[in-house]
Amino acid sequence: MKKLHVVISLPNQNSYHQEQAVTARTTAQELGVDVKILHAEDDPIKQSQQILDIVQSREKPDAILFEPLTSTGLVRVGEAAVASGIGWVVLNSDVDYLDRLRTNPKVPAFAVTRDHTEIGRMQGQQFAALLPNGGTVLYIQGPPTSSAASQRTMGLEMTRPANIKIKALKSQWAEGDAQKVVTTWLHLSTSKASTIQLVGCQYDGIAMGARKAFQAHTDKAESGNWLHLPFTGVDGLPSEGQAWVNQGILAATVIAPSTTPTAIKMLVRAIESGAQPPERTFLEMKSYPSLDELRRKASQRAVKN
């Protein structure tokens, strides 16, 4: 069998997508696959054009793996890719058009994703465990164009207790952007730590960006009040989210693994067998610490107070 060539398009170079790239290269090397990685710099037009250029090039890859920056998931580009015999693998997002691309088993078309609704549900359960008496959460979401962000918010609303209120902000999937968003929000006269009981974020990097904004607050007493609140995030990389929980910087995270290793393995099997893999594969996630541990710690804090 000839050596496979794949292109991977990632939205940006935040920590999670760096992990996506590293694990993709490692898995590709193990399987003897050539891989080229592109970064769209959070620009959906740039991502669309980059991938379209590849589809229309003379040297076509065997497959394109990509994490979409838009809720439509580049449906027209996907149709063009499959029509050209290029496999189409959607990462970390659930799109509604894959069934139309799967008529030819020799051109794989499938998705490998984290269940973002379930991530949101887990965050709602974490909030309930951390705030058993209720309160207000400053909830910093991903960008409005991201289906993952909207699905996480929807999942949160499924499990959020009625005594927990949400104050929402939106950020790009980047620490620096989160810091700017929170810094701007802090200029409002109503943005006081006394009105918030928890800072919940849809990405660990967003949580760290928010903390940096609070650290830079000109009112040092108010800064201390903000930093005393529990912070939560999503991704749980061993060197970041999990480490930050262990260090007490975050109260909790959701461990949600990289999608690229599974996607590359499934792609190779599909091309070798000539059979379509499952249309959607959801990766397993878990709360870190466990929900039981979060409830136990909340009970201990209540006794001390």
The Cα–Cα gap between 193 and 142 comes to: 22
The structure's pTM equals 0.89
Query: What tokens does 251 get?
Result: 């109260």
Three-state DSSP at 142 gives coil
CB 252 within 8 A of CB 232: yes
- Per-residue pLDDT tens over the stretch 63-109: 999 999 987 889 999 999 999 999 999 999 989 999 999 988 889 99
- State pLDDT tens for residues 250-273: 999 999 999 999 999 999 999 999
Q: Which CATH superfamily is domain 116-255+289-304 in?
A: Response regulator (3.40.50.2300)
**Helix, strand, coil distribution of the chain in percent, nearest 5:** 45, 20, 35
Q: Exposure pattern of 168-192 as b/e (b: 16+ CB <10 Å)?
A: ebbbbbbbebbbebbbebbeeeebe
pLDDT digit string (tens) for the chain, length 305 residues: 579 999 999 999 999 999 999 999 999 999 999 999 999 999 999 999 999 999 999 999 999 999 999 878 899 999 999 999 999 999 999 899 999 999 888 899 999 999 999 999 999 999 999 999 999 999 999 999 888 999 999 999 999 999 999 999 999 999 999 999 999 999 999 999 999 999 999 999 999 999 999 999 999 999 999 999 999 999 999 999 999 999 999 999 999 999 999 999 999 999 999 999 999 999 999 999 999 999 998 887 776 65
Burial class of residue 221 in the structure, from the number of CB atoms within 10 Å of its CB (0-12 exposed, 13-18 middle, 19+ buried) = exposed
Q: How far is residue 220 CA from its own chain's centroid? A: 32
Question: What are the residue ranges spanned by the domains of the chain?
Answer: 5-114+258-284, 116-255+289-304
Hey, how many other C-beta atoms are within 10 angstroms of the C-beta on 163?
11
Cβ–Cβ < 8 Å for 232, 200: yes
Report the CATH superfamily, name and number, of domain 5-114+258-284: Response regulator (3.40.50.2300)
> Is the separation of the CB atoms in 136 and 195 below 8 Å?
yes
Cα(136)–Cα(198) distance, rounded to whole angstroms?
A: 7
Same topology, domains 5-114+258-284 and 116-255+289-304? Answer is yes
Dist CA 10 CA 15 (whole Å): 12
Q: Report the SS3 class of residue 137.
A: strand
Give residues with Cβ within 8 angstroms of 1, minimum separation 6. Answer: 272
